[in-house]
Amino acid sequence: MDKTDLTPTYLPSGDRAVLVQFAPKIDAAINRYIHSLCSKIDDNPFKGLIEYQPSYSCLIVHYDPMLLTYNEVTAYLEKIISITGSDEELSSSVVEIPVCYGGDHGPDLPFVAAHLGRSEEDVVACHTGENCLVCFLGFTPGFPLSQAPEKLAGVPRLETPRTKVPAGSVGVVGNQTGVYPISSPGGWRLIGRTPLKLYDPGRDEPFLVKPGDYIRFKAISAEEYAAISAG
Amino acid sequence: MQTFKVVKPGLFTTIQDLGRPGYQRFGLPTAGPMDSYSLRMANLLAGNDLNAAALEMAFAGATLEVMRQTVVALTGASMQAALNGANMPAWQGVRVREGDRLELGSAVEGVYSYLAVAGGIDVPPVFGSRSTDVLASIGGIEGRPLKSGDIVETYAPEDLPDEIMLKQDFISSFPPKTLARVIMGPQDKRFTAAGLDTFLNSIYKVTVNVNRIGYKLEGPQIEHLEGADIITEGQTPGAIQVPRDGRPIILLADRGSVGGYTKIAVVISADIRKVAQSGPGKEISFQAVDLETARRAYREEEAIFMLNRRLLFEP
């Protein structure tokens, strides 16, 4: 990471949100810094803050224009940035997600293996081999856009997205990996499926992972998948 | 308390309060009304908190059977409302009784109508809001639009308000041409000077691709500097994204919480409802304003509610 990567640019995003832009790239260090800022905001909230929304390389802060001006919000954010180091420890959890790889659950595993010049076993070993940073949630409720292990980077999107990806499907694309929480259209390459629900509005913790958490995928058999699904 | 039986649901009728802020970082849209002024005004006339849940009806309204005496208020798009077959006035409190039949037709002017009921609609809040979000399947009745046979329940009001009438000045009209004021950016630098000029000096027409997520417009192509894609980031209500084809899409209540297209500008809060009430074929043009102008417009709208609360309810 370049030092200038963490130099903020402030931009209005309409009349009730400030966009803080860092170097526009998908980079774990920049994204981790954004999560550090979020936790600093949690520790130092201000009246009129409605919510904040991290993504890969920027943070959007929504505010109440009845209480604050744009300049007041950027002044506050400048202060937050000045007290946030680039190497702060994140108080993230590591969430283990069991995945049944290949077969019907992961129809694109053969393609991904062939594209990367690896065996399917090797792809699974890479995918389960490290903690993946959850850069942000988006697209559908609870969808974790996460940093894929480097050895799996470079997988292209489907040319024609599927109109219906089953809930729980685990996909890879570019240098990202993620899990489809609900059945939705999708263009990622599917390598497996988890029996866990990433989004369940009826649960005490509706979202299984939070932005800034880490996901650790774990391979399970089709039998284990069926057993967990059956509850 | 059971208040309405849904005889016909209309084209897309959902329960909405002022929305669900606080969960965009988990991937949920804010949902809420497409026209928050009209929803709030309906609630004011029904004697409710401005954030109470009411019915939002799109394009063609519902037919409802009234199950008990109450006061309702209809605002927003005009939908040829009839109460027991006779013309029903909008923008005022109307007393209805058990057995009455409330029938709304197609929107003549505007797109979204709001029907508020004294006490507010009683559905369990999910993540702090009663707003229906059909993608996440939450809010309203089972997270879906109303269907025939649904029973709409309401909270018991403290007492029924009088049939108060709003002053003409505060009744919205929805003209065929709309000027939407915008704050430029966040990605206005990603367009050529000609592209920016096209955006600010053309008339765009609303296509048939309109829903609670956003409105696709047609008109002169807005030229990008180098490509339409950005690294995925959050998107705020009213954001005008310009994908590769150069035609703007205005993102509204149910927009995805994130997106990866350049956003040339964002419609100011006070004008978002004007866009939402401009259905297919209507014309929209854009005018760049500064944050101070937007803030003043926002405050003026808030002041209207404070003023009317005094005008209508204080002796």
Interface membership of B230 toward A (CB under 8 Å): yes
CB contact under 8 A, A25 and B269: no
Say which CATH superfamily domain B177-295 falls into.
Cyclophilin-like (2.40.100.10)
From residue B168, how far is each of A173, B41, B299 by CA, in Å?
56, 13, 20
Q: Which of A56, A57, A60 sits opposite B236 (nearest CB)?
A: A60
- Residue A71 identity (one-letter amino acid): N
pLDDT at A86: 87
Mutual angle of helices A109-116 and A120-127, in 10-degree steps: 90
CB contact under 8 A, A70 and B291: yes
Provide the 3-class DSSP secondary structure of residue B152.
strand
pLDDT at B101: 98
Retrieve residue B310's tokens. Answer: 């005094």
Contact B124, B94 (CB under 8 A): no
**Chain B residues with CB inside 8 Å of A15's CB?**
183, 266, 268-269, 291, 294-295, 298
Interface membership of A161 toward B (CB under 8 Å): no
Q: Which of B26, B183, B258 sits opposite A12 (nearest CB)?
A: B183
Q: Was domain A3-82 assigned CATH 3.30.70.100?
A: no
DSSP chain A: --GGGG--EEEE-SSSEEEEE-SSS--HHHHHHHHHHHHHHHHS--TTEEEEEE-SSEEEEEE-TTT--HHHHHHHHHHHHHT--TTPPP---EEEEEEEESGGG-TTHHHHHHHHT--HHHHHHHHTSS-EEEEEE-SSTT-EEEEPPGGGTTBPPPSS-EEEEPTTEEEEEBTEEEE-SSSEEE-SEEEEE-SS-SB-TTSSS-BSS-TT-EEEEEE--HHHHHHHHH-
Minimum distance, in Å, between the CA of residue B19 and any CA atom of chain A: 12
CB contact under 8 A, A141 and B26: yes
**Chain B residues with CB inside 8 Å of A60's CB?**
233-234, 236
Give the start-to-end residue ranges of the domains of chain B: 2-170, 177-295
- Distance CA(B294)–CA(A16), nearest Å, equals 9
Residue among B257, B263, B290 with most chain A CBs within 10 A, to mutate? B257
Minimum distance, in Å, between the CA of residue A217 and any CA atom of chain B: 20
From residue B176, how far is each of A206, B279, B280 by CA, in Å?
43, 9, 10
- Cβ neighbors of B148 (< 8 A, separation 6 or more) are B6, B7, B8, B9
Retrieve residue A158's tokens. Answer: 């489907």
| In the predicted structure, residue A32 carries a pLDDT above the cut 90 | yes
Mutual angle of helices B269-276 and B291-313, in 10-degree steps: 80
Interface membership of B264 toward A (CB under 8 Å): no
- Residue B36 identity (one-letter amino acid): S
Taking CA B204 as the corner, what is the angle to CA B200 and CA B205, rounded to the nearest 5 degrees? Answer: 165
pLDDT at A87: 83
The residue with tokens 């979000």 is B133
CB contact under 8 A, B257 and A21: no
- Residue B192 identity (one-letter amino acid): T
State the average pLDDT for chain A: 95
Question: Looking at residues A189-216, what average pLDDT do you find?
Answer: 96
**A51 exposed, middle or buried (CB, 10 Å; 0-12, 13-18, 19+)?**
middle
pLDDT band at A218 (very low <50, low <70, confident <90, very high): very high
The 10 Å CB-count burial string (b at 16+, else e) for B56-78 is bbbbbbbbbbbbeebbbbbbbbb
| In the predicted structure, residue A1 carries a pLDDT above the cut 90 | no
CATH architecture label of A94-230? Beta Barrel (2.40)
Give the start-to-end residue ranges of the domains of chain A: 3-82, 94-230
Provide the 3-class DSSP secondary structure of residue B288.
strand
Contact B222, B244 (CB under 8 A): no
pLDDT in tens, B173-200: 999 999 999 999 999 999 999 999 999 9
Minimum distance, in Å, between the CA of residue A118 and any CA atom of chain B: 29
pLDDT at A159: 87
CB atoms within 10 A of CB B288: 15
Element (H, E) at B307: helix B291-313
- Distance CA(B223)–CA(B246), nearest Å, equals 6
Contact A15, B295 (CB under 8 A): yes
Retrieve residue B182's tokens. Answer: 């915008």
pLDDT in tens, A135-189: 999 989 999 999 999 999 999 999 888 999 999 999 999 999 999 999 998 999 9
Q: Which of B26, B186, B268 sits opposite A15 (nearest CB)?
A: B268
pLDDT band at A44 (very low <50, low <70, confident <90, very high): very high
CB contact under 8 A, B25 and A211: yes
Interface membership of A175 toward B (CB under 8 Å): no
CB contact under 8 A, A60 and B233: yes
Mutual angle of helices B36-45 and B291-313, in 10-degree steps: 10
Radius of gyration of chain A (CA): 19
pLDDT at B315: 66
Pairing of strands B177-184, B283-288: parallel
Residue among B127, B233, B252, B261 with most chain A CBs within 10 A, to mutate? B233
pLDDT at B142: 97
| In the predicted structure, residue A78 carries a pLDDT above the cut 80 | yes
Residue among A9, A11, A13, A35 with most chain B CBs within 10 A, to mutate? A13
Minimum distance, in Å, between the CA of residue B221 and any CA atom of chain A: 22
Q: Which of A66, A136, A210 sits opposite B302 (nearest CB)?
A: A66
Mutual angle of helices A70-82 and A28-43, in 10-degree steps: 110
- Distance CA(B133)–CA(B28), nearest Å, equals 9
Q: What is the mean pLDDT of each run of 10 residues along chain B (315 residues)?
A: 98 98 95 98 97 98 98 97 97 98 97 98 97 95 98 95 93 96 97 98 97 97 94 94 95 92 97 98 98 97 93 78
